[in-house]
Amino acid sequence: MQVTVPQSRVHGDAQVPPSKSYTHRAILAAGYSDGALVRHALKSADTRETMGAVEAFGGDVVEVAGVLEIDGFGGSPETPPDIVDCGNSGTTMRLAAGAAGLVDGTTVLTGDVSLRSRPQAPLLDAIEQLGGRARSTRGNGQAPLVVEGSIEGGAVTIPGDVSSQFISALLMAGAATDEGVDIELSTELKSAPYVDITLELLADFGVTAERTEAGYHVEGGQTYEPSDGEYAVPGDFSSASYLLAAGALAGDPEVEVCGVYPSAQGDSEILGILEEMGADIDWHRDDGRAVVRRSELSGTTVDVGDTPDLLPTIAVLGAAADGTTKIVNAEHVRYKETDRVSAMAEELAKMGAEIEEQQDALIVHGGESDLVGADVEGLGDHRVVMSLAVAALVADGETTITGAEDVDVSFPGFFDTLYDLGVSVSRD
């Protein structure tokens, strides 16, 4: 699908969709339980893959009046009757690979072309260290993956600078092992707030896990059981970043973003980043509202080691700001749905941005950039699509984005929301 977005001013209220990160974890945690309700879950392409994984392991997921009723597999996943296809969802594959380590049998996991290019070797090695068998069918550490259990727990050493999802997968599965799991990190942990999300959600499901001096620890033999048998998913700060950026660049008079309550999400840093760049923004934490108005922004330096999903948004803000914006500690952002460092450099350059791409950084010279409408590519990445749509709001002319349907991964109603804010979005 192609979407054309003209230069526009935006105004009004916008509701943030539920968090994709919390939804993935909540669905699988309910799968690990005997049964639970998940309220306010994000229904997207990615989270449907996690629902499918729970069903593949012997659970059942039914939506009733907007609530997910999940009949879990009680900490003992069954051998899937077929290959587990995770689509484009890296979170599904990694969390499901952890669960597969508990199966007394063989699980095969695969995905689309993009997912089959993403690194999985550290998690496969971790499962081997815990007594399971795990391999890449192509011998390159990438899907398709074959995992054979069942692991009983123990100690494992794993790098922290490839994906925090590996740690989350081991913690979630480790609670259902006999011995529990001790995780020692051999390198610095990137995207640490995503593990904090996992710890927070585990606690809400009655599971104790903790940070240790060397890494993380989770006791074995625990039972997943949320309070009153249900869990409510909070709003998503990654998705909120596009709406907040739209308000800072084109809000006239203002955009009110609803559903942004404080949580462990690292991407809540977008509010501080906007303030540092000079945005006129008020965050009413108790009400979960952020009001932002069109502002003259200045360049800044942002370390995205813990917030990789914000890189596309910050790149757009930098392209429209005065001065230079440096996005650093960014190499791990290359291993997402696409290489987001290169993707943003290439696509924003088509719109007139002056950008330097480095292996570990993206340097955006906003003072030398004059954004103009252009034909750009989403490159199979929902975050690239949404960030380019925000850039289009301040680009002279119209911008046409190819592959715009990929917003279904995390924010299915994104373009409807832009329309409601006053943007004359057209779809082909």
Residue 25 assigned ligand-binding role:
yes
* Residue where a domain stops, chosen among 202, 232, 262: 232
Residue 163 assigned ligand-binding role:
yes
Residues 211 and 286 in one domain: no
Q: Per residue of the chain (428 residues), what is the pLDDT tens digit?
A: 999 999 999 999 999 999 999 999 999 999 999 999 999 999 999 999 999 999 999 999 999 999 999 999 999 999 999 999 999 999 999 999 999 999 999 999 999 999 999 999 999 999 999 999 999 999 999 999 999 989 999 999 999 999 999 999 999 999 999 999 999 999 999 999 999 999 999 999 999 999 999 999 999 999 999 999 999 999 999 999 999 999 999 999 999 999 999 989 999 999 999 999 999 999 999 999 999 999 999 999 999 999 999 999 999 999 999 999 999 999 999 999 899 999 999 999 999 999 999 999 999 999 999 999 999 999 999 999 999 999 999 999 999 999 999 999 999 999 999 999 999 999 99
CA gap 106, 73 in Å, rounded: 17
Active site residue 309: yes
Residues 314 and 413 in one domain: yes
pLDDT of amino acid 208: 98
Q: Given 71, 125, 309, 381, which residue is catalytic?
A: 309
Tokens read off for 377:
């590519």
Task: Identify which of 124, 206, 123 has the alpha carbon closest to the alpha carbon of residue 167.
Answer: 123
pLDDT of amino acid 40: 95
User: Would you give the DSSP letter of residue 158?
Assistant: E
Residues 213 and 265 in one domain: no
Residue 117 assigned ligand-binding role:
no
pLDDT of amino acid 6: 98
Residues 106 and 176 in one domain: yes
pLDDT of amino acid 18: 96
Structural domain boundaries enclosing 327? 2-17+235-427
* Residue where a domain stops, chosen among 197, 232, 267: 232
* Residue where a domain stops, chosen among 178, 201, 232: 232
Residues 147 and 291 in one domain: no
Residues 361 and 254 in one domain: yes
Residue 340 assigned ligand-binding role:
yes
Residues 34 and 12 in one domain: no
Residues 66 and 159 in one domain: yes
CA gap 419, 254 in Å, rounded: 15
User: Using alpha carbons only, how large is the chain's radius of gyration in Å?
Assistant: 21
Residues 239 and 192 in one domain: no
CA gap 309, 120 in Å, rounded: 19
Q: Torsion angle, CA of 217/219/223/226, rounded to 10 degrees?
A: -40
Tokens read off for 49:
């893959």
User: Would you give the DSSP letter of residue 271?
Assistant: H
pLDDT of amino acid 365: 98
CATH code, domain with 401 = 3.65.10.10
Residues 341 and 413 in one domain: yes
Residues 51 and 187 in one domain: yes
For residue 98, the SS3 value is: helix
Q: How many domains does the chain have?
A: 2
Residues 184 and 278 in one domain: no
Beta strands in 275-353 (DSSP E): 280-284, 289-293, 301-303, 324-328
